[in-house]
Structure 1
Amino acid sequence: MSVQTSIFDGGQRLQMTESIELTIQSLNAYGPDHKHWGVAWSGGKDSSAALTLLAYLLDTGRVKRPETLTVFYADTRMELPPLAIAAAQMMDELRDRGIDVRVVRAPLDKRFFVYILGRGVPPPNNNTLRWCTRQIKVDPMEEALRARVGELDGSILMITGVRQGESAIRDRRIEMSCGKDGAECGQGWYQQVLPNARGLRGRIATLAPILHWRVCHVWEWLKHWAPAAEFGDWSTRPIADAYGGDEAEEINARTGCTGCPLAQEEKALDTVLHNPRWSHLAPLKGLKPLYRELREPHHRIRKAGLERLKSGEIAKNPQRMGPLTFEARLMGLERVLQLQAECNAAARALGRPEIDMLDREEERRIRELIKAGTWPDGWDGDEPRADTVLPVVYQNGAVQPLLFGE
């Protein structure tokens, strides 16, 4: 009995032209079912490859153009500067082609630095306070999609840059649902329902047309094919450079936010700094130490005893540490502005692009929130500083008094 193989079976590796052909088949198989298309674009290697390839295929007629095409750029305000700068150039190139590009950002008060330094929420961590990805990326994108769907009749097909192999956890999810909604192996990961999109069920489908691409094909496309006039003259080479240039594939390069507080090592920024063109960004290495410092007890307040929630229940973690003091927020603000100023002074001296990870609007809003005495929900600012020695209070209400009084 013969066994049908798929492109994921580990047999002969796909060549670049074969990968592109499978992408064309994927788009032509599912694209005609939707009048409206969108592209979820992060500015990273995979979504940039998917976006520029799609534009090339539409321009050359190898894929039929939908009635509308909207590109949603997820601007977290925390992307590595080379990626943010490349994205700005690519947005100009997309608009020159008549493509509707929408920059998606979190509301001002929920942006990364405003939320920390203005509202006082501590930097995110991997344990109990991982708020950043959803707040500055997922929720804004979901809201932008909801607004776009409200403008359209019918459904919208969202093109993503998801690839098999990019994340082991994500791959297991793909593996379990690669045949969902009748999708065939080799035709991309197609789903008629966008997961976790509140109020959008039935209005959005997703397709990952480069699901089968090897990472070497992504680098090849970004570094050599896409920048060529024949394939669109795209500004994608700096994206590959941001991941490590010619060594990106060998080091299995990934990127994240600048100075990501969730990462144990500063691999992404270190990779950028190895490139002499971006060496002036070295002051940004000061962000992670700042985040660690802001988590320290002397920069925060804490609950003095048992905490009763709005539901009436007793909180599980009595005397938990909470938001940043106003003094800590101002210290953090001045530190971030100083790091940014150092980068930009070096950039001006070298004739390189400046950065604005914290712009004037955000700085002004941070100072407004501090002046207004803003605290996160559930805190009023009268709580003791977190390094204050207090009697220990347990969840059952028992109190262990201090052994020694002042």
Structure 2
Amino acid sequence: MKTRLVDKTFVFGGKNLDDIYKEIQEVYFSNNYPWIIGYSGGKDSTATLQLVWEALERVPRIKLNKPIYVLSSDTLVEIPKVVNYVDKSIELINKAAKEKGVPIQAIKVVPEISDTFWVNLIGRGYPAPTNEFRWCTDRLKIDPTNKFVIETANKYGEVIVVLGVRKAESINRERTINEHKIEDSRLSRHTTLPGAFIYAPIEDWSVDEVWDYLINFESPWGGNNRELFEMYKQANAGECPVIVELKEGSESQSCGNSRFGCWICTVVKNEKSLSALIESGETWLKPLQEFRKLLVETQDPEKKHIYRDYKRRDGNIYFLKHKEKKGIKELGRGPYKFKYRKIFLEKLLLAEKRIREESGYDINLISQDELIEIQRIWKLEEGDWENSVHKIYEKVYRKSLDIPKEDIGIFSAEDRALIEEIAKEEDIDPKLVVKLLNTYQYSRNLSRKSSLLKKLERILNEEWRTEEEILNEVSR
């Protein structure tokens, strides 16, 4: 690789490298707002960060008087190989920035514990995401990033968000970039955050130009761009040629627009990156593929009634409108049934155990904090007084979960069995009794008793008929 080389023959997006560095410097010094560089570890964000770093290293350190945050968002369900690469990059960035005296700090944000994928899917029973119900993106990625941007904007007045977005990625991306451009400026207005502006240094670059830059210029923080290239090659099933240097007039294509997303993503019909990595030799990732296949199966319209409850999380029911138009009364489906959520947790822990054994890496597919939160939700919403999370963990790992057992609640598994026995005799849904007891226990210290009574009333007004009883009544 060529180090710190600036040559008039290197042209990217219609500009030579000298002019690109000068533009970055001009934008940097045009105001006092801090910069937040979005960094995913992918090719575009890496090229963007590298450009900014190189441009500012050419400026006397005393003039670099405002902070630059390199912001990485970890959904906690990223492909482990990618997570390892990004974490290593963050360490290198912070170390090199300190040694070189540039005001750059790499930070990783994660979802709030209540918003994580597993807390929602296994804990609350949210169904695997689809295009119609894509509940994951905001919670896992957008909200943690926006929170950091908003907090920084509030502290400094406004911020510049530097993104590795390119017009060539899609027509929609080009339209978005153009629509929000500020006249006579390289900045755009953020589409949702009023205190933020967008700067996209590589917006006019092609994918080949991105790889051209990364392959020909070394990472200033000591990262390995060839390793990144190999990851893209693997994620593309090795179909792209290993290009050492793109030459003028060459028709060779790079690894293109391959992307690394969440390994569990069920929004896309055909998952590519994970499968390609496995085909390229990363066979230890197979348990992830198998678990994803299980969740995809639950999306089959013909099997939804097997996996999912007939009631929504609020305890109410609804009928499918498109079926009603045909004169058919069919209940819509709600969250995953509790028994399947327990199965999902066991299979996820088994996948985690198998990956650790086969890869040698100490990989966590689900954190202890998430396990604690899932157990809390199960106790509160499902009356899981037998601490199922702990039992499942002990079954898989043959050892106790290294956290104290959730001690909220005065009821035991024996109490649950007694309630079920009495409820059966009185022809009452035991879940109703359990939910009333749980609500009273958690809310009995409320200063206003009226609040407790309203909660109990809402529970009593939920749908407590069985699915069979409901369908029999509407068919009369």
TM over 0.5: yes
Distance 1:215-1:21 versus aligned 2 partners, 3 A rule: farther
Q: Which amino acid aligns with 2:268?
A: A
What is the SS of the residue equivalent to 1:137? helix
How far is the alpha carbon of 1:34 from its aligned partner? 2.9
The answer to whether structure 1 residue 339 and structure 2 residue 366 are counterparts is no
Question: 1:141 and 1:379 mapped to 2: Cα distance?
Answer: 36
Map of 2:173 onto structure 1: 170
Distance 1:29-1:279 versus aligned 2 partners, 3 A rule: same
Alignment of 1:269-284 (within 5 A): 269-276=274-281, 278-284=282-288
How far is the alpha carbon of 1:134 from its aligned partner? 1.1
Name which structure has the greater RCO, CA cutoff 8 Å, separation 6+.
1
Map of 1:55 onto structure 2: 53
Question: 1:215 and 1:72 mapped to 2: Cα distance?
Answer: 22
Distance 1:238-1:283 versus aligned 2 partners, 3 A rule: farther
The answer to whether structure 1 residue 142 and structure 2 residue 139 are counterparts is no
Alignment of 1:6-405 (within 5 A): 14-15=11-12, 18=15, 20-35=17-32, 36-61=34-59, 65-96=64-95, 97-98=97-98, 99-127=104-132, 129-152=133-156, 154-177=157-180, 179-183=181-185, 190-191=187-188, 193-197=189-193, 201=194, 203-223=195-215, 225-227=217-219, 231-244=220-233, 247-248=239-240, 249-250=254-255, 252-276=257-281, 278-295=282-299, 296-303=304-311, 319-348=331-360, 353-373=361-381, 390-391=470-471, 400-401=474-475
Distance 1:283-1:147 versus aligned 2 partners, 3 A rule: same
How far is the alpha carbon of 1:161 from its aligned partner? 0.8
Question: 1:23 and 1:355 mapped to 2: Cα distance?
Answer: 40
How far is the alpha carbon of 1:401 from its aligned partner? 0.3
How far is the alpha carbon of 1:301 from its aligned partner? 1.2
- Identical aligned pairs, as a percentage? 22
Question: 2:378 and 2:183 mapped to 1: Cα distance?
Answer: 50
Q: Which amino acid aligns with 2:363?
A: I
Q: Which amino acid aligns with 2:377?
A: L
Distance 1:148-1:344 versus aligned 2 partners, 3 A rule: same
How far is the alpha carbon of 1:327 from its aligned partner? 1.0
Question: 1:155 and 1:333 mapped to 2: Cα distance?
Answer: 43
Pair member with larger Rg: 2
Distance 1:100-1:14 versus aligned 2 partners, 3 A rule: closer
What is the SS of the residue equivalent to 1:39? strand
Contact 2:123 2:378 in 1 (8 A): yes
What is the SS of the residue equivalent to 1:61? coil
Question: 1:368 and 1:251 mapped to 2: Cα distance?
Answer: 44
Question: 2:17 and 2:239 mapped to 1: Cα distance?
Answer: 23
Cα deviations across residues 84-131 of structure 1 (Å, max 9, x unaligned)?
11110111112111332222111101101111101211111012x111
Question: 2:380 and 2:173 mapped to 1: Cα distance?
Answer: 42
Map of 2:325 onto structure 1: none
Give the aligned length: 357
Distance 1:338-1:401 versus aligned 2 partners, 3 A rule: same
Question: 1:77 and 1:223 mapped to 2: Cα distance?
Answer: 29
How far is the alpha carbon of 1:170 from its aligned partner? 1.7
Question: 2:464 and 2:19 mapped to 1: Cα distance?
Answer: 60
Cα deviations across residues 225-284 of structure 1 (Å, max 9, x unaligned)?
234xxx4421443333222257453564222211311111121112222333x2321221
What is the SS of the residue equivalent to 2:191? coil
Distance 1:389-1:151 versus aligned 2 partners, 3 A rule: same
Question: 1:82 and 1:22 mapped to 2: Cα distance?
Answer: 36
Compute the RMSD of aligned alpha carbons.
3.5
Give the gaps of 5 or more residues in structure 2.
1-8, 99-103, 241-253, 322-329, 384-454
Give the gaps of 5 or more residues in structure 1.
1-11, 393-398
How far is the alpha carbon of 1:165 from its aligned partner? 1.5
Contact 1:118 1:374 in 2 (8 A): no
Contact 1:344 1:354 in 2 (8 A): yes
Question: 1:216 and 1:206 mapped to 2: Cα distance?
Answer: 23
Q: Which amino acid aligns with 2:21?
A: I
Distance 1:100-1:221 versus aligned 2 partners, 3 A rule: same
